[in-house]
Amino acid sequence: MAERKVVGRKIAIVLGVVSVILAVGLVIALVAYLPASAQVSTLNAQIAGKDQTIAALNLQITSLQNNGTSQSANAAQLATYKNQVDSLQAEIADLSNVLYLNATGVLVNSQAFTQEPYTNVTIWDGSQPLPYAGYVTVQLQSSSNQTYVEVSYNSYGVAYDNVVTLGNGAASFPVLPSYAVIVLGNNDNVTATGTVTALYHY
């Protein structure tokens, strides 16, 4: 009986020591695990937060890219509209000039001539139309006062033919949209020399 009691006590002591060791190990494991678990949770929360931040930034990038594309498209469209507006304003200015006869075209530019007695020459043959109503001014510098200018055309049922003897000077002739012809002639019995300029005002 005594031996059995001693053996039982030894087993109890061993079991107690083992239990204490296991308990201490468990406490150490818990102490080590709980902070690690908390740290994992914290890291998971940070990762989730960063994922949300990344998603938000991706949305901003997409929005900015779309906005950039839209701005580029708008800039191109605005440039196109500006070009159209500039073109229309230029057309309006041209039409306003025509309306107020402020536009001028050169038909004959300081053309030198030598005109035999009692002859004439066409200086504007009407191959190009005068598209608007207006007037033609002929400026003449001639050695003879018998040099003349004749302007003729047919337009809108009007047959126009007018002769002005100039010598030196200028004369104006009203014109309708037409294929007008301008003739320079010499009614003198001597050869005439000089220069002639014809301007179309419309």
Q: What is the pLDDT of residue 27?
A: 63
> Which residues of the chain are under the pLDDT cut of 50?
36
Q: What is the pLDDT of residue 85?
A: 81
Q: What is the pLDDT of residue 200?
A: 97
pTM for this predicted structure: 0.58
The string of DSSP codes covering the chain is: -HHHHHHHHHHHHHHHHHHHHHHHHHHHHHHHHHHHHHHHHHHHHHHHHHHHHHHHHHHHHHHHHHHHHHHHHHHHHHHHHHHHHHHHHHHHHHHHHHHTT--EEEEEEEEEEEE-TTEEEEEE-SSS-B-SSEEEEEEEEES-TTEEEEEEEEETTEEEEEEEE-SSEEEEEEE-SB--EEEEEE-SSS-EEEEEEEEEE-
d(CA 139, CA 67): 63
Q: For 139-170, what is each residue's pLDDT tens digit?
A: 999 999 999 999 999 999 999 999 999 989 99
Q: What is the pLDDT of residue 35?
A: 53
Q: What is the pLDDT of residue 75?
A: 78
Query: In 3D, which of 190, 188, 140 has the Cα closest to residue 168?
Result: 140
CA distances from 97 to 34, 49, 89, 93 (A): 92, 70, 12, 6
Q: For 109-133, what is each residue's pLDDT tens digit?
A: 999 999 999 999 999 999 999 999 9
Q: What is the pLDDT of residue 29?
A: 56
d(CA 73, CA 79): 10
Q: What is the pLDDT of residue 36?
A: 47
169-175 and 119-124: which strand pairing? unpaired
